[in-house]
Structure 1
Amino acid sequence: MILTDTHTHQYYLFGTPELDLQMQRCFANDIQHLFFPNVNRESIPKVLGTAAAYPGHCYPMMGLHPCEVQTNYLDELAAIERAIADHKVYGIGEIGLDLYWDKTTLALQREAFRIQSTWAKVLDLPVSIHCRNAFDELFELLDEVQDGRLRGVLHCFTGNNQQAKQVIELGLSLGIGGVVTYKNAGLDAVVAELDLRHIVLETDAPYLAPAPHRGKKNESSYLIHIAQKIADLQQVSLETVAATTTQNALQIFRI
């Protein structure tokens, strides 16, 4: 059985003994592939360093997180674009819109998204999209930029059935993480109705730890709990969830 974490920040631990401990726990729980979304220019060395330390298991992406989009965003994007030119990357991310922390940067976030989605289309790379408190704004933007070439994942999907349908119709997959294990979140009912071919798994570690670790620091080895919850909801085996979602991920990221 092989599980794939399509969105984890485990690289934050680069340069610490804890990183290898967490990686060994991943391998013990059959998590063999981990995809690292970059957040800004300062995280680039950690993303690349961790991926280089675990070849065949860890894969770097490059992007500017919407919460990192400030007035200097063009400088940040220039540094990230240089890293893309100099290294093999497997996706553009994480990019997107976030109106939870700061609504005043929406125009800048939109422009950063347009620029990075263009990179993805030109380079034929998937995107990893962050969306928080901004579904309507994101769908409007996706309608604008989707010309049939944009592909990838809406990471940490927590929307309703209609929003899931919209994402799929836009040609994107749904990244399902720890929220699916939370009581009263409502995501479990949505996931139960989805076709597994539209789902990939993720942890977003160190954030959003699944039950039974909710409220603690997350790590990629906890992906096993997310996979088991989806298996229960879909009434299929854990092995079926692992095989299908890993196949989905490897097709998206072209591993």
Structure 2
Amino acid sequence: MIDTHAHLYDPHFQPDINQHITEIQEAGVNEVWLPNCDLASWDQLVELTTKFPHFVLPMIGLHPTYVKENYILELQGLEALLEKNKVLAIGEIGLDYYWDTTYQKEQIKAFERQCHWALDRKIWIDVHCRKAYGDLIRLLKKPEYRNLNGIIHCFSGDYREAQTLASLGFKLGVGGVITYKNTTLFEAIKDIPLTSIVLETDSPYLSPVPFRGKPNSPKFIPIIAQKLADLYQVPLSDLIEITNQNAQILKTMSGY
């Protein structure tokens, strides 16, 4: 299985990273993809990808909640790193209006600039979106982005938004939220074919039931996979095969 989105460089996983990696691999996870947040997180991310090559793969990007008054300097620094490093994707990037909209315009500018990084390098984007699906879809529908694709990480939109994003060529990332008692996530995605779904954890956040409230780990991917298989009424082996193929398509696109 592939965890397409986990922050293994988070302090929670240190200093016992070797033990965490062992537990993740023993759970049947053979790859973990690491989204970047800002310049400050890059060194820790690269340290992991150097230590565990072929198991953890890097992305680079400025997370929308890290977009502040200095965002242009952050982007310049990240772009300089991008010139020197091979990455799986540009991410995690996007829009987040959940807590604060002070830098809404700057978030949009940062998102579009990073979308062009992906287009220029013919790689995909890993998208964070909370309470901003209207603006996200409006942007992704621009003709200049017609060749963009990637993953909508931790998809939390409604049925119509799921349909639209899938039709634009994006995979929907599904994680621990699918196991929550009162979630409406499956209602939103139940008519989305499995060919548009990938698995993720967003570790150490959003642990699945029965570990909700505790730190998440990619080792819990089997719980998410089993829940999705039950909801889609398909064998677990089929669900794993299809979601792995979906992830591999993106991986191949980036030259990995």
Normalised by the size of structure 1, how large is the TM-score? 0.95
- The answer (yes or no) to whether the contact 2:12–2:204 under 8 Å persists in 1 is no
Tell me how far 1:13 sits from its aligned partner. Answer: 4.1
Distance 1:238 1:23, change over 3 A: same
Normalised TM-score (structure 2): 0.95
Contact 1:14 1:49 in 2 (8 A): no
Measured in 1, the distance between the counterparts of 2:12 and 2:246 equals 28
Corresponding residue pairs, total: 253
Q: Which residue of 2 aligns with 1:108?
A: 106
Deviation at 1:146, TM superposition (A): 5.0
Identity fraction in percent: 38
Unaligned runs of 5+ in 1: none
Letter in 2 for 1:215: G
Match 2:5 to one of 7, 27, 34: 7
Query: What does 1:1-255 align with in structure 2 at a 5 Å threshold?
Result: 3-13=1-11, 16-144=14-142, 146-254=144-252, 255=256
Question: What SS does structure 2 have at the residue aligned with 1:200?
Answer: strand
Instruction: Give the 3 Å change call, closer, same or farther, for CA 223–70 of structure 1 in structure 2.
Output: same
Question: Aligned partners of 1:147, 1:186: CA distance in 2, in Å?
Answer: 29
What's the offset of the Cα at 1:188?
A: 2.4
Question: Match for 1:178: what amino acid?
Answer: G
Compute the displacement of 1:253 (Å).
Answer: 2.1
CA separation in 2, counterparts of 1:210 and 1:105?
Answer: 31
CA contact under 8 A between 2:5 and 2:202: conserved in structure 1? yes
Task: Kindly provide the amino acid, as one letter, of the partner of residue 64 in structure 1.
Answer: L
Q: Partner of 1:81: helix, strand, or coil?
A: helix
| Superposition RMSD in Å | 1.4
Residues 18/182 of structure 1: CA separation in 2 closer, same or farther (3 Å cut): same
Structure 1 runs of 4+ aligned residues shifted over 4 Å read: none
Q: Could you list the runs of 5+ residues in structure 2 that have no partner in the other structure?
A: none
Judge conservation of contact 2:8–2:34 (CA < 8 Å) in 1.
yes
Aligned partner letter, 1:142: L
